[in-house]
């Protein structure tokens, strides 16, 4: 019933949305949400490899510090949902070495029997540094989208800044437009995290995530299209945009790009792309790549540079980080986009050979589960705000 109502709503709304059609600020981007997480266990090398195959622009890592302060890619603050064998507890109660013993893949097979693969059993946790080194070796133009999930009293920002400085990944991209070109862009629901990162002298572009205009601050950002100087771009939930379709234009008019999350349904992708959204998070990177290709509004294959064939599984890199200090590779910027290997980590394997630029991999026709839940959440949030304001 919900699907019928939603489909009917789209049919009614489409002509109105067509009148609001607007260009994006630049090429529209695919941000792979926890990797290609519709098809493989989130935040594992399987999901990241697939996102590269599906020709993503940005690879997400939800960052949490381990007990020994190593940034790892995991969404929840506990391991309860994504580790098998009844293991539980907060991520920061385990060292990296302890987390490496756990199975982060089997839960996916249980939850998705039709997509289950035996190779997912025993999938390992991925330190952010290994994600960077592995996929930059495959594609030095790839871009990464870490999200600070738990600041750990400010240690997360401090450690990220130190790690990215050590790796030469702070000052990348076009200084006139780092949001669209930097190798690393940071996101957080916590404005304090973005502010801390900026105060560490970071030039990494910062995006503010939010669900709905449920605070006076966010309402002000939405009405004026502008915010504090430690927010470079805005990342409202897709429901906040669909409820208020001129929102993107207001942010654009004030000079800010707009990204949105998490959009797995092709119809919703088309609507949001037509409204000029600059990037969409999706679990279904292949579907979004196909929609952007159909519109002709994305990066060129040369700009995103994903290899069609590459060695899966990060051989020689997976497993080598032992602490927040690495070991890891050092990179340096190349012009206005991308980096190159400056020095390989000691004990490193031979760098992965260069591969030819991939032809874009087009539509698979697979559609995700949609994000009605997100729409409803946004509606409830908006209704709550209205109630608050009318008191």
Positions that interact with ligand G3P (CB under 6 A): 33, 62, 75, 147, 187, 209, 261-262, 281
- Per partner kind, with CB cut-offs from 5 to 8 A, the member of Ca ion, ligand G3P, none near residue 248 is none
Return the SS3 of 100. Answer: coil
Strand 259-260, strand 233-236: pairing: unpaired
Q: How far is the CB of 62 from Ca ion (least distance, A)?
A: 5
End-to-end CA distance of the chain: 34
Q: Which is nearer to Ca ion, 73 or 84 (CB)?
A: 73
Q: How far is the CB of 305 from Ca ion (least distance, A)?
A: 24
131 binds Ca ion (CB under 5 A): no
CB 104 within 8 A of CB 82: yes
- Per partner kind, with CB cut-offs from 5 to 8 A, the member of Ca ion, ligand G3P, none near residue 262 is ligand G3P
What does residue 157 show for φ and ψ, rounded to 5 degrees? -65, -40
Q: Which is nearer to ligand G3P, 173 or 236 (CB)?
A: 236
CB 370 within 8 A of CB 265: yes
User: Which helix (H) or strand (E) is 340 found in, with range?
Assistant: strand 339-343
Q: Which is nearer to ligand G3P, 288 or 358 (CB)?
A: 288
Q: Which is nearer to Ca ion, 36 or 352 (CB)?
A: 36
Q: Which is nearer to Ca ion, 127 or 338 (CB)?
A: 127
Q: How far is the CB of 262 from ligand G3P (least distance, A)?
A: 5
Q: How far is the CB of 147 from Ca ion (least distance, A)?
A: 4
Q: How far is the CB of 22 from Ca ion (least distance, A)?
A: 26
- Per partner kind, with CB cut-offs from 5 to 8 A, the member of Ca ion, ligand G3P, none near residue 102 is none
User: Which helix (H) or strand (E) is 130 found in, with range?
Assistant: helix 128-138
Q: Which is nearer to ligand G3P, 209 or 358 (CB)?
A: 209
Q: Which is nearer to ligand G3P, 282 or 305 (CB)?
A: 282
| CA pseudo-torsion sign 257, 369, 379, 208 | negative
- Per partner kind, with CB cut-offs from 5 to 8 A, the member of Ca ion, ligand G3P, none near residue 320 is none
Half-sphere exposure of 206 (CA within 13 A, CB side): 25
Non-local CB neighbours of 277 within 8 Å, separated by 6+ positions? 24, 28, 241, 248, 258, 259, 260
* CB contact burial 311-350 (16+ within 10 A = b; e otherwise): eeebebbbebbeebebebbbbebeeebbbebeebbeebee
From 5-13, 19-27, 54-62, 315-323, span contacting Ca ion (CB under 5 A): 54-62
147 binds Ca ion (CB under 5 A): yes
Among positions 59-88, residues that touch Ca ion (CB under 5 A) are 62
List strand residue ranges (DSSP E) for 83-204, in order.
126-127, 143-148, 186-188
What does residue 233 show for φ and ψ, rounded to 5 degrees? -150, 165
Q: How far is the CB of 73 from ligand G3P (least distance, A)?
A: 11
Which tokens go with 148? 């600070």
Q: Which is nearer to ligand G3P, 147 or 157 (CB)?
A: 147
Tell me the residue number closest to ligand G3P, measured at CB. Answer: 261
- Per partner kind, with CB cut-offs from 5 to 8 A, the member of Ca ion, ligand G3P, none near residue 261 is ligand G3P
- How far apart, in whole angstroms, are the C-alpha atoms of residue 41 and residue 114? 13
Return the SS3 of 229. Answer: coil
DSSP alpha helices (H): ranges in 74-187?
96-99, 106-111, 128-138, 155-166, 178-181
- Per partner kind, with CB cut-offs from 5 to 8 A, the member of Ca ion, ligand G3P, none near residue 252 is none
What are 9's strand-pairing partners?
none
- Per partner kind, with CB cut-offs from 5 to 8 A, the member of ligand G3P, Ca ion, none near residue 141 is none
- Residue numbers of the site for Ca ion (CB under 5 A)? 62, 147
């Amino acid at each position: 019933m919900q699907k019928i109502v939603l489909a009917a709503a789209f049919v009614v709304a489409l002509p109105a949305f067509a009148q609001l059609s607007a260009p994006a600020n630049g090429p529209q981007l695919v941000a792979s949400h926890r990797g290609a997480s519709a098809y493989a266990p989130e935040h594992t090398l399987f999901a990241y490899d697939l996102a590269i195959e599906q020709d993503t622009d940005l690879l997400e890592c939800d960052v949490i510090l381990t007990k020994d302060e190593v940034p790892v890619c995991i969404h929840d603050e506990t391991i309860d949902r994504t580790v098998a064998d009844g293991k539980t507890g907060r991520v920061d109660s385990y060292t990296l070495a302890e987390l490496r013993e756990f199975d982060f893949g089997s839960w996916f097979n249980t939850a998705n029997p039709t997509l289950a693969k035996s190779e997912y059993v025993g999938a390992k946790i991925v330190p952010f540094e290994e994600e960077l080194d592995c996929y930059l070796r495959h594609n030095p133009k790839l871009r990464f989208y870490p999200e600070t999930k738990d600041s750990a009293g400010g240690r997360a920002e401090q450690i990220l800044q130190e790690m990215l400085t050590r790796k030469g990944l702070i000052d990348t991209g076009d200084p006139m437009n780092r949001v669209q070109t930097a190798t690393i862009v940071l996101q957080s629901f916590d404005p304090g995290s973005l502010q801390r990162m900026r105060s560490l002298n970071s030039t990494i572009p910062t995006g503010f995530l939010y669900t709905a205009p449920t605070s006076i601050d966010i309402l002000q950002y939405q009405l004026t299209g502008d915010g504090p100087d430690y927010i470079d771009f805005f990342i409202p939930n897709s429901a906040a945009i669909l409820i208020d379709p001129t929102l993107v234009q207001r942010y654009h008019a004030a000079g800010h790009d707009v990204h949105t999350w998490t959009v797995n349904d092709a119809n919703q992708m088309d609507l949001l792309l037509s409204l000029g959204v600059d990037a969409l998070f999706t679990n279904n990177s292949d579907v979004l790549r196909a929609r952007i290709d159909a519109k002709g509004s994305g990066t060129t294959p040369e700009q995103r540079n994903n290899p069609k064939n590459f060695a899966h599984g990060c051989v020689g890199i997976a497993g080598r980080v032992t602490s927040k200090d690495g070991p890891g590779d050092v990179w340096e910027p190349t012009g206005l986009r991308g980096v190159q290997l400056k020095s390989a980590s000691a004990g490193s394997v031979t760098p992965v050979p260069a591969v030819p630029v991939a032809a874009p991999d087009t539509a698979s026709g697979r559609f995700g589960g949609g994000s009605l839940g997100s729409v409803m959440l946004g509606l409830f949030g908006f209704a709550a705000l209205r109630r608050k304001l009318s008191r």
